[in-house]
Chain A
Amino acid sequence: MKKRGLTIVILVILTVIIGVIVVDFLNNRPDRRGENPYALEVDQYKVVDPELISHKETRNFDLGLLIASDMSLYDRALYVSGNSSLVVIPLDGRPATMHEILPRATCLEVDQGNIFVGFSTYVAKYSHEGELLQEWPHLGESTVITNLAIKEDKVFVADAGNRRIVIFNREGEQEGEFEGKAESEAGHGFIIPSANFDLAVNSFGELWVVNTGKHALENYSDDGRMRGYWDKASFDIDGFMGCCNPARITVMEDGSFVTSEKGIVRIKIYDQSGELISVVAPPALFKKERSANEEGKAPEVCVDENGVVYALDFDRDVIRVFEPIESE
């Protein structure tokens, strides 16, 4: 009798021990853990008032195996660089054409005369038939060419590595450079914390450069003198957050800006003085879960005369088309 009681006690103790081990094992599985006590909640910054959204996504262009680096819109066709290729996608539905270009293009810009393609340290000029016409000189150590803009006979080259804009003529002769410095307090110079440094020439011929470290868009004369600027550093929807925003811009017919942001990815429209007009694409439309290596890349943006925004989504290698929502 005594022996039986002892056996029962031992069995109960063993059952409890095994139970504790099993419960602890199940609770400690990576997918069954409790809340992270150190969690940083950023989802609140991804919420956008639906009233602010002015565009809807209507279609997209799949780029297939092309790993795209940049996009430009000219004469109702999208020009996309990537791998060792330049793809021309007519918007009227005609088949796309592909030209072979030098490898590792980082950016491109197109006008009626030529296609200018930026590589890490130099620019090359192509004909519209894809023929390589010129390779311009390398811009030296630490150069990281991120974007190009064309104004008549000048080509402006954004060099993020050296925080400067280099001015070339169309034949590749360097005519000058500027670092955005001015005597006023605003003219600190370009602060470029990462390889996000964009510029654009609007329909009035004004050169606008993004000073990402100051969350500012700055207007310069052709020879690099600052004429004006606006900035919007804020975690709210009407401003730019993070270290390097807006990472990409383009300009509309009326001089408004379409901005594209990295980190928490979103596309917005601002008027010429920096007031938020609307949101083209909220963060909810872009990839949600990312590892540390997968920072949200700002989509390259182009806009046509009808206000249709074309966004090159680097996460999906797809050109996404956002058309204005018709007001009733």
Chain B
Amino acid sequence: MEKKDKDKDKGYNRRSFINNGVRLALGVSVVGTAAFTLQRSASGKDYVWQIDPFKCTQCGRCATECVKAESAVKCVHAYALCGYCDLCGGYFKPGAKLQTGAENQLCPTAAIQRKFIEEPYFEYIIDEELCIGCAKCVKGCSAFGNGSLHLQIRHDLCLNCNQCSIATNCPSDAISRVPASEPYIIKGNFTTEEES
């Protein structure tokens, strides 16, 4: 009887030891992984893909080369740089009438809304759900205007692939990894150019 109890205690202790050891190892690995992730995000060492608008040559490939069916590249508007012009080279087709009819609009998906502010100023707002990132308006804005329209990779849409498919095909090498803490490269304002 005494021997049986002794064997029972011995078996229990070994199993308990192994179980506790496994639990401890799992706990340490979970805590370690969490600490590592927290440390990485706190130090901002994560990187995301982004377009340098100063290198972009508006080739149109951002619309077709993204692995997502709807490209993660969208046009953004640097309002500080915009002239709020009536005759906007990014909105109207060159030579078109200054009327908002589809035949006069440069954007193939009518993703730019033109809103009257006060005579003779108009605001141009990008509807991101419609924008396909084709850069047609960007080219028009650069050729005829201030270049306030430019492309950016939207990180709420981007999958942050290990190798960005658009970057591989970008002819001007305009796409590179930037720190996740500063994920966008937005153009500035001419009155504060020197300070920036």
CB within 8 Å of B: which residues of A? Answer: 28, 30-31, 33, 36-40, 42, 45, 104, 120, 142, 144, 160-161, 188, 191, 193-195, 213-215, 233, 235, 241-244, 263-264, 290-293, 295
Contact = CB atoms under 8 A, between A and B. Distances in A.
A244 B136 contact: no
A215 B86 CA distance: 11
Contacts of A104: 194
Nearest to B143: A42
Given A193-B146, A292-B147, 17 more contacts: A31-B171, A33-B169, A38-B134, A40-B143, A42-B143, A144-B190, A161-B190, A188-B119, A191-B83, A193-B84, A241-B89, A242-B89, A244-B83, A291-B54, A291-B172, A292-B58, A293-B147
Interface in B80-132: 82-85, 87-89, 94-95, 106, 108, 119-121
Interface residues on B, range: 35 or more
Contacts of B61: 33, 36
Most chain A C-beta atoms within 10 Å of own C-beta, residue among B108, B119, B134, B138: B134
Contacts of B58: 40, 292
B106 A40 contact: yes
Most chain B C-beta atoms within 10 Å of own C-beta, residue among A31, A144, A241, A291: A291
Given A30-B169, A195-B190, A214-B120, A293 B94 contact: no
Contact of B89 (A188, A191, A213, A243): A243
A39 B150 CA distance: 15
Interface string B152-176: 0000000000000000011110000
A31 B56 CA distance: 16
Contact of B142 (A38, A193, A292): A292
